[in-house]
Structure 1
Amino acid sequence: MIQGTYFTVRELLNLQVLKNSEVLAGNGGLDRQVSNVTFFDAPDAINWVKGNELVVTTMYPFRDTVSQKLLVEELAKKGASALGIKLKRYIDALPAEILEIAERHSLPILSIPYECAWVDLINPIMAEILNRQLVKLETSERIHKSFVEEVLQDGQLNSIAKTLHNLIKKPITIFELFSFTSTTYPDLKADTDIVLTELLNQQEKYSKFIAYKLEKLIKDCVLFVVPIRIAQKTEGYVVVWESNSLSEIDIIAVEHAATVSALQIQKLKSVSETRRRFKDDLINILLRGEESIGYNLKKRAQELGWKLGVNNIILVVNVSGINHGGQNWAQLQNLYELVSRFMIKGRLDSIPLGVDRSDRIVIIFSWEEQEKIPVVITDFAEKLKKAIREKNFDFKIGIGIGSCKQKLDNIPESFEEACIAAKVSLLSEKDIESNEYGKIGVYKVISELLNSQKAERIVSEILQPIISHDQAYNINLLETLEVFLKQDCNFRSTSKCLYIHHNTVRYRINLIEELCKINLRDPNDKLNVHLAINFYKYSKSF
């Protein structure tokens, strides 16, 4: 239970003015909060009840059972603290039916002493409420100052956790989602990763800046969670362990901790953005092969927390359909953050990661001759594909892996290969695909000849008659030809793919052979058409 420092109905009954009052019903609600007092002198006064009020009345407007029943039901519905009534004026007692309704809703009904004037009742109650609010404000200010001093002196998340622990005497964990780190004070044997996994799996559920209780996650331990919000985005969580009971002041302290943690995380993000610019600069120097111009690249990489060795393999993540400045441009930034977090979670943050000048995400797997490769790159690519696929980006994503090159000045070769493999991946019908340069086969030749005069001549000689016919008559002969070749020149399977009759396919193929003066049963003609289609299709992507 979260204990409050607020004024309750139970404490209300200890006031001198109510020492002779009696609880007629609703004992289960004596711990309800009282934040105000209101007087009812008309039946429609119920419309202005906001909750947590002690409602007092002579019952003059509610002298019949029907109106009394409606009054109690509505007060319970609107969250009133209690109903205080003066008997022996307009009614002598409440019917048992009304008391049963109050009991069912745990709404306390208090008998106010007959001799008690309203002013004598309201003044001491409001004085107590205001005094507690003042104490709460002063305490909140003191807590705020202690956190501000901590931020100015140190500001690290572990010191914030320690300060919060000293205030509320509970173990504290602060999760930071920017780089997926956490700090706990004091040390716990409990597995904090279980908590983080739950919060990430239900991130939308735990996104509002309110407190959440996790009771069944860890045996015999109730967790109290407040999200750390920055610019309407959850950037972390403050978790209080063993929080079966927290006072209102404790909760205020946790919320202050979340606020100053947000400031610290924002500072970390700013520093990280600066470091990212340095990292991107170094990545681009490596991709241009500028090792010989005097830079001590290995030393610079080490200063950025990276490790460069003799053997190097480049992995490129490329995308298609990006509008720089549009919504999916922001998604491209989210894609980079996803890849970065994926590597941090896999303890691969010492592997160089950056963005080249064409906005391709670049990863350099680098290791020394005597060392093992840091990760099986094909497995890494498959797991990365899975992580990306779960986020449902609005653009196609291609992953390419270059071959291993020795020495840093040969990195551009592996990079060029990875770019080609990534572009081949983008040509897949899947939303995300990956390819190794060493396994793309004929596409190596196609990529080398693309945009050359020889490729343009092949396209012009073989496909131009079809392209011109399609533009003139809108029949889609080129699409029919491409599908026909993919279906191993089978008329019926082609018709199923295109949703047309197989005789229509026969007519179109005959027309194509007539226009292009080819015979698709001839292996040489078939190969030439395959090459021409690939040159025409891929020249738009490469």
Structure 2
Amino acid sequence: MENVANVVPPQRRDLPVAADYALTVRGLLALPSLAGAEVAAGAAGLDTVVRWVNVMEVPDILPWVKPNELLLTTGFPLRHGGQGGTFDPSVVARLVDGLAERGVSALGVKTGRYLDELPPDMLDTAERHGFPVLVLPRGVAFDEVMSEVFTQLVDRQTWALDVADRLHRTLTALVLGGGDLPQIAAEVAALFDTAVLICSPDGRVQTTGGAEANSAALAALPLFDPSGRFRTEQVHAGLQDAPDATGGQLAVARVIAGGTDHGLIAAYGPNGGLGPVTVQALERAATVAALAITKQLAVSAVESKFRGDFLRDALNGVAGPPELVTEHCAQLGWDVDRPLAVIVARLDESSGPASVAGRTPMDRLTAAWEQVLRARDRAVPVVGFTHELVALVPAEPESVQRTVAELVSSVAGDRGGGRRSFSTGVSRVIGSIADLAAAYEQAGTAVRVGRRTHGPGAVAHFDGLGVHRVLSLVSDPGELRAFAAEVLGPLGADTPDALDLRGTLQELLDRNCNVAETARSLHFHYNTLRYRITKLETMIGPFTSDANLRLDVALALRVVQMRGL
């Protein structure tokens, strides 16, 4: 997305100041009711998050505990957990083992009446797991502790909702005032001190935001393919650890509007610490991003219709004199006064769905080509029609093949996001817009013949079509099939023997019927190849001595190579 020139800089003073959302065991020790609590073991786990609080009343509590839970107990369940209700230190140690394995945040024990001190085995086990065991003040009431913990949890949840709501209102005002995706990404990145990325459903990056160090850390993640596509298939909505082994975290939210998937927004904290509040705020930001994208798509639809109609007229040679076409293109932001090659891309047949989340495969292909080309040159004409995409790419005759190969590779990426295969045709390089109609016809011929000759995903240049270009001019495919069947006879069948013999025949023709060279190329014994030649001449005639027959055979083999006849 592009920055809007007249956007007023965002007023970050309207946003809440980021704070520590998570309530940890260490934070609990600052509560009045737990001010006198002592950490008996497991101090390494004091930064574990607490989301629940419960009281242990029976020894067999393990089936009912939850992750991130603070468990409170007296010495009674611990004292009577052994066989026959007796005290068994090993049972208490196994209880700590089970609590740590289930993700319980900490165990608070009130000693005194039933248990004077905690057994060493229990404390050793807690220390080994980094599982905090707290000795509570004897006069503390559990309901007082639970009330204060719940109050802290509710306060933090209220603060998280306030952050998300105020961020949503600020971003909405920004978009309604003319802002776009770059401003949204910058706001979210500044609030949480993260790098923020907004991309299309298949991972084409729309914009990024955040401090330079954070953005560089995001770019270094193994979540981008060589074309720069963000690997959306490797992340999921919500909070997750980043695949960087340095403690970084990713928060991801889908950008969806009216049932249409517009991509995702992701926030990356190199040092972690994002928490649920980031996810909640990001979901609100995703809603606003969907509004901005919908607005931009509505404007683009009108502009694209106008541009597409004009380019179609220019491609068909009915847009007016070359000078007028060049001037009109300049008004549309296109530079066509330079050497150009016309590229035509068409989707290959597929059994997949006609559309994905409201976007047709042609829409997705057009968006990918636009993003790749405009990253190189914003003045390149790129228009998607109903059945094909057309681009006028600046190129020189000696470098056009390399340029097109790089473009196709970048657009195809690693085929993430459900993008379908497409075939590409390339015209000769033209030096004047007066030759545009002829170049468009060349590119159309190249993509059609290239797909027939090489199958789906072909990239064909008009100058490289050879005799296939002449064969493509035959309007009746049945006539071509009849010609091939007449010349090749049983050799034109799709049986393994016929395919093998056709390969030998093609190699012979490619080497001007030089038996010795062909035998070496195919790794055949000389006599074996002579035997095959005799068999071939029995089937199709004396092609080794009849030049006219050799020409017919060579053309027939080319026809057989062409698909879809």
TM-score calculated relative to the size of structure 1: 0.77
Which stretch has the larger CA shift, 451-460 or 151-160?
Answer: 451-460
Name which of 351, 358, 374 aligns with 2:380.
Answer: 351
SS of equivalent residue, structure 1 residue 317: strand
Other-structure match for 2:545: 521
Is the contact made by 1:82 and 1:110 (CA closer than 8 Å) also made in structure 2? yes
Letter in 1 for 2:405: E
What is the alpha-carbon root mean square deviation over aligned residues? 4.7
Name which of 313, 321, 324 aligns with 1:285.
Answer: 313
Is the contact made by 1:223 and 1:239 (CA closer than 8 Å) also made in structure 2? no
Task: Indicate yes or no: 2:78 matched with 1:54.
Answer: no
SS of equivalent residue, structure 2 residue 445: helix
Rounded Cα–Cα distance in structure 1 between residues aligned with 2:538 and 2:215: 71
Pick closer, same or farther for the CA change 1:527–1:320 going to 2, 3 Å.
farther
Which stretch has the larger CA shift, 264-273 or 294-303?
Answer: 294-303
Equivalences for residues 42-441 of structure 1 within 5 A:
42-63=58-79, 64-161=88-185, 163-164=187-188, 167=191, 170=193, 174-176=197-199, 180-182=205-207, 184=209, 192=215, 195-196=218-219, 198=221, 199-201=223-225, 203-204=231-232, 207-211=235-239, 225-227=250-252, 229-230=254-255, 235=263, 237-239=265-267, 253=281, 256-292=284-320, 297-298=325-326, 301-309=329-337, 312-318=340-346, 320-323=348-351, 325=353, 334-346=364-376, 348-356=377-385, 359-365=387-393, 376-387=399-410, 390-391=413-414, 398-405=423-430, 408=433, 410-427=435-452, 432-441=457-466
> How many corresponding residue pairs?
523
Is the contact made by 2:182 and 2:208 (CA closer than 8 Å) also made in structure 1? yes
Rounded Cα–Cα distance in structure 2 between residues aligned with 1:530 and 1:274: 51
Rounded Cα–Cα distance in structure 2 between residues aligned with 1:324 and 1:5: 44
Letter in 2 for 1:361: L
Shift of 1:240: 6.4
Other-structure match for 1:12: 28
Shift of 1:194: 7.2
Letter in 2 for 1:426: R
Is the contact made by 1:72 and 1:98 (CA closer than 8 Å) also made in structure 2? yes
Unaligned runs of 5+ in 2: 1-17, 80-87
SS of equivalent residue, structure 1 residue 60: helix
Is the contact made by 1:477 and 1:512 (CA closer than 8 Å) also made in structure 2? no
Shift of 1:380: 0.9
Rounded Cα–Cα distance in structure 2 between residues aligned with 1:172 and 1:395: 31
Determine what percentage of the aligned residue pairs are the same residue. 24
Rounded Cα–Cα distance in structure 2 between residues aligned with 1:53 and 1:452: 74
Letter in 1 for 2:21: T
Rounded Cα–Cα distance in structure 2 between residues aligned with 1:326 and 1:45: 54
Other-structure match for 2:8: none
Shift of 1:272: 3.7
Unaligned runs of 5+ in 1: 367-371
Letter in 1 for 2:255: I
Letter in 1 for 2:436: I
Shift of 1:99: 0.8
Which stretch has the larger CA shift, 234-243 or 256-265?
Answer: 234-243
Other-structure match for 1:484: 505
Is the contact made by 2:255 and 2:287 (CA closer than 8 Å) also made in structure 1? no
TM-score calculated relative to the size of structure 2: 0.74
Rounded Cα–Cα distance in structure 1 between residues aligned with 2:473 and 2:66: 74
Is the contact made by 1:450 and 1:535 (CA closer than 8 Å) also made in structure 2? no
Rounded Cα–Cα distance in structure 2 between residues aligned with 1:383 and 1:255: 36
Letter in 2 for 1:377: V
Rounded Cα–Cα distance in structure 2 between residues aligned with 1:197 and 1:344: 23
Which stretch has the larger CA shift, 171-180 or 478-487?
Answer: 171-180
